[in-house]
Amino acid sequence: MSLWTSAAIAAATGGRASVDFTATGVAFDSREVGPGDLFIALTGEATDGHRFLTQAFAQGATGAIVSDVCDGPHVRVADTFAALEDLARASRARTAARVIGVTGSVGKTSAKEALYACLDRIWRGQAHRSVKSYNNHTGVPLSLARMPADTHAAVFEMGMNHPGELAHLTTLVRPHVAVVTAIAPAHTAFFPDESAIADAKGEIFRGLEPGGVAIIPYDSPHRDRLIAAARPHAERIVTFGSDPAADVRAIEAVRVKSGGSFVTARIGDRELSFTLSQPGAHWVSNALAVLAAVDAVGGDLAMAGLALAELGGLPGRGARFVTAGDALVIDESYNANPASMRATLAVLAHEPGRHVAVLGEMRELGEASADYHADLAGPVEDARVETAILVGEAMRPLAERLEGRVAIVHVPDASMALDRLRALIAPGDAVLVKGSNGVGLARVIAGLKGG
């Protein structure tokens, strides 16, 4: 099906089409271009997308948005980034979809994927989401531009690491429902304290459509701050959590043999019992937020419960596999902050066998970085970790805190971490791999899968 015509692109962006063409997809990374795609030649400090036009057309692009000379079918504009945002606005304007925006210090990608699974189960083939972790100033408009006009429900992840960023993104997404998963130390190098992080996350409510719903974690110490941020923009505020006063709450959550949980939740005056495939208390919290959002857009809660039971782990965010040497690996390699480190170490604690943790440094934590790292000592011990492979210089405070209490291997990079892990891993081990994305622990995962 056609996603965009050259005429629609030109109308949205104020550009001029060289010829008529249609596109079935949108990309701005030439490596991701496929047959039928519209390639947007973005320019930036590091590179210029116009250099990759030949490659994009060779890979099947049917047209491009450019601001320079182009031999292939194109729409020429003054500024390609502005055109990407214009295309996003046009996509949002033409749809009647119920739109959900998700942000939070932790859990936003997992909640977004869980929400999409629920929406797709309810409205098969008519749900849309932002892929991967496309949640920034380019990823959000790209995800909007990729949304089919006949979408029934859509969920978009929105991230930030500076004040003001969400305020802009939410005006593009214009959600009917805005979810904050949790507030925790993340990107603290750019914020004076957690309250400032809560304020920045609360910017998501500014884009709410009339009649919009704000979904807020009741158990958060910043609950009232988030409620105050939502009140001027939301018609209804829904809280979720374990406290009996939460609007959507877990009455019971019992760990099951598969590692997940059997959850009984109260949503308003209704109860829903379901099996949650993903392990950990943090996933119970995610599921409550998801159910609140599904209910807010008029979705079938029973169908959502079935989707949560079938939800698989995400690569880099909880996916599991068994190595050729019969060791369980929990892949949390995509990112890390103090809260997510604690949550995933708590999951490791319940696994059988010897526990090994490969932990990469947590970045963008500012002046308190050493304390945040050292404070992971308790969670590491509580997870019954026998050997901790710590990666990066910022992990030194944790290595010093654990000395004499846990076997420590402190290495400078992911390649050395993989070498040391291969030397000690044994059948029956449970291995957690987690760290900030820039540490590159995905290489450890790839190495373990490769044998």
Backbone angles phi, psi at 103, to 5 degrees: -140, 180
State the fold for domain 95-310: UDP-N-acetylmuramoyl-L-alanine:D-glutamate ligase (3.40.1190)
How would you write the pLDDT of the chain (451 residues) with one tens digit per residue? 799 999 999 999 999 999 999 999 999 999 999 999 999 999 987 889 999 999 999 999 999 999 999 999 999 999 999 999 999 999 999 999 999 999 999 889 999 999 999 999 999 999 999 987 789 999 999 999 999 999 999 999 999 988 999 999 999 999 999 999 999 877 667 788 999 999 999 999 999 999 999 999 999 999 999 999 999 999 999 999 999 999 999 999 999 988 899 999 999 999 999 999 999 999 999 999 999 999 999 999 999 999 999 998 888 988 999 999 999 999 999 889 999 999 999 999 999 999 999 999 999 898 899 999 999 999 999 999 999 999 999 999 999 999 999 999 999 999 999 999 999 999 999 999 999 999 999 999 999 998 6
User: CB of 253 within 8 A of CB of 263?
Assistant: yes
Query: What distances in angstroms separate CA 96 from CA 22, 24, 62, 93, 341, one per listed residue?
Result: 22, 19, 27, 8, 39
30 is in an annotated binding site: no
Cα-trace Rg, the chain = 23
Pull the structure tokens for residue 415: 């390649």
> Any idea where the domains of the chain sit in the sequence?
4-78, 95-310, 319-449
Rounded Cα gap, residues 359 and 432, in angstroms: 8
Backbone angles phi, psi at 122, to 5 degrees: -80, -45
Rounded Cα gap, residues 89 and 65, in angstroms: 16
| 14 CB-side CA count, 13 A | 9
CATH class of 4-78: alpha beta
Q: Of 92, 70, 89, whose CA–CA distance to 21 is shortest? A: 70
106 is in an annotated binding site: yes
Q: What pLDDT, on a 0 to 100 scale, did the predictor assign at position 46?
A: 82
Angle between helices 301-310 and 281-296 (to 10 degrees): 150
Q: In this structure, are strands 213-217 and 127-129 parallel, antiparallel, or unpaired?
A: unpaired
One fold for 95-310 and 319-449 = no
CATH class of 319-449: alpha beta
109 is in an annotated binding site: yes
110 is in an annotated binding site: yes
Q: In this structure, are strands 261-267 and 270-276 parallel, antiparallel, or unpaired?
A: antiparallel
Q: What pLDDT, on a 0 to 100 scale, did the predictor assign at position 185?
A: 77
105 is in an annotated binding site: yes
* Region at 77 (left for phi over 0; alpha for psi -120 to 50; beta for the rest): beta
Backbone angles phi, psi at 30, to 5 degrees: -60, -25
Q: What pLDDT, on a 0 to 100 scale, did the predictor assign at position 451?
A: 63
Other residues' Cβ atoms within 10 Å of the Cβ of residue 333? 28
